Amino acid sequence: MSGKKGEISNSKIYFAQTDTTAGLLSRNPVKLNRLKGRNENQPILREVDSLETLQTFVRVPRPFRREVRFRRQTTYIYLPKGEGIRVVDEGLHHSFLKKFRWLYSTSANRTGEKFNLEWGKRVADEVVEDSRGFFDAPPSQLYRLGRTRKIRIR
């Protein structure tokens, strides 16, 4: 923890099962990118605990507000910033995430490699295991949202 009581450490890395796959989470995207062996400035997914928290970062284009509200396990890249954000507002991962309101998230593997449980546990400052354990699963669906257009990325 840094200075003030209750303040979240900006550099702590958590290894946890997300709503989609096992991942590394932190408030520090540079540290996550370094661990994975990729460019420090590469954009990284942000997970938020509610639509209210989402609104502090981006404005959801009007044509897509209903979809963003109700679609699960889907990440949207919001233009013009180009930031990828997924709302996790239910389930076991939400219970963990709501303590922070938001965290950067990436899969628990080095870039170009497959999921590695031991590596994830070794590089994390804290391992957060729930009743599901840890497993590799397909990543979330990914869409880029413009003012009026939606483009599927994966």
Sheet with strand 126-128: strands edge to edge: 126-128, 14-17, 22-26, 102-107, 45-48, 83-87, 74-78, 141-145, 150-152
Kindly list the structural domains of the chain, giving each domain's residue range(s) and its CATH number in brackets, ordered by start: 14-152 (3.90.870.10)
Question: Does the pLDDT of residue 4 top 70, yes or no?
Answer: no
Average pLDDT over residues 23-28: 94
C-alpha 72 chain-centroid distance:
13
Q: For residues 140 and 68, is the Cβ–Cβ distance under 8 A? A: no
pLDDT 10s digits, 68-120: 999 988 999 998 888 999 999 888 999 999 999 999 999 888 888 888 889 99
pLDDT value for 47: 95
